[in-house]
Amino acid sequence: MRKRLNGGFTPNKMKDMFGIINESVDTLVEYLSEREGAGVDSRELFTRLNCNVILNTMFGIECNCLKEPPHKLFSMGNEINDYSSWKFVRIFATTISMTLTKLLDINLVRGELFVHFMQAIKGSLRERERNKTFRGDMVDFMLDNKGETDDEPSAKKINLNEDEKAMQLFGFFIGGYDAISALLAYSSYELAVNPDIQRRLREEVEGVTHLTYESLMNMKYLDMVVSGDTALHCGPLLN
């Protein structure tokens, strides 16, 4: 099932979501412009940006986690990715025995946050079905999922109930929440300490008069920079 649901991340689907992602990046540019010259915590900054992107592109929840207080799901994402010693114990328990996990009532996230997440996602699913609106995000893909992928264009439609759809979206949320923000933070650090690479990358970006999905995919040096930073810092997270 997950293989078919991964059809939501094909180039065509990513192209559909490019405009939504761009809007979230615009909020980051505006945020930094208002604080020109001030120091920022890059990991915190990119975690907030990534939360914006995920909530907008996957769930159709328009928010701005760069503002205070951030969206409640931002707190949930941080809690899930809090790798304290006790969290590792809980993760280990879930991997060795689901019976033990249920017996000891071990949860990776507080119940009220998980309930809030499920309510928010189900609300988005119901509103989209009721209003018949289309945003090109993962909610649309779930509602109109034919299960098609590049490898299986004729795959049958996957019939999921509301809870199953919400849980699949929850999996996508926790899967991409920490990894992308970590990569962006490490990349910003590497560019800061390697000014020659930063200059060359800036020249490539500024050479694009109109940023589109196609022009972004054609940025060869950007691809090399991201690939290098991924291999150097985030391989285990993104593989």
156 contact partners, CB below 8 Å, separation of at least 6? 146, 147
pLDDT band at 111 (very low <50, low <70, confident <90, very high): low
Mean pLDDT, all residues of the chain? 78
CA dist., res. 157 & res. 86, Å (int): 40
Rounded distance, CA 1 to CA 149, Å?
11
The upper half-sphere exposure of residue 239, i.e. CA atoms within 13 Å in the direction of its Cβ, equals 8
Q: What pLDDT sits at residue 36? A: 81
The whole-angstrom separation of Cα 71 and Cα 55 is 9
The conformation of residue 209, written as its DSSP 8-state character, comes to S
Cα Dmax for the chain: 59
List the single range of 20-24, 97-101, 176-180, 196-200 with lowest mean pLDDT.
97-101
Burial code (b: 16+ CB inside 10 Å, e: under 16) for 2-28 equals eebbebbeeeebbebbbebbeebeebb
Regarding the domain delimited by 1-193, which CATH topology (the fold level of the hierarchy) does it fall under? Answer: Cytochrome p450 (1.10.630)
Q: Which residue has the higher pLDDT, 100 or 188?
A: 188
* Mean pLDDT, residues 170-183: 81
- In this prediction the pTM is 0.73
165 within 8 A of 172, measured Cβ to Cβ: no
Q: Closest by alpha carbon to 190, among 201, 179, 176?
A: 201
- Please report the pLDDT score of residue 100 as a whole number: 61
CB 47 within 8 A of CB 181: yes
pLDDT > 90: percent of the chain:
21
Query: Residue 28 contacts by C-beta under 8 Å, 6 or more apart in sequence?
Result: 45, 49, 52, 66
Estimate the crossing angle of helix 42-59 against helix 72-80, to 10 degrees: 110
Domain boundaries of the chain, sorted by first residue: 1-193, 194-238
User: 5 pLDDT band (50/70/90 cuts)?
Assistant: low
The torsion region of residue 105 among left (phi > 0), alpha (psi -120 to 50) and beta comes to left
CA angle (161, 167, 172) in 5-degree steps: 130
Which of 103, 116, 35, 102 has the alpha carbon at shortest distance from 74? 116
Residue 146: strand, helix, or coil: coil
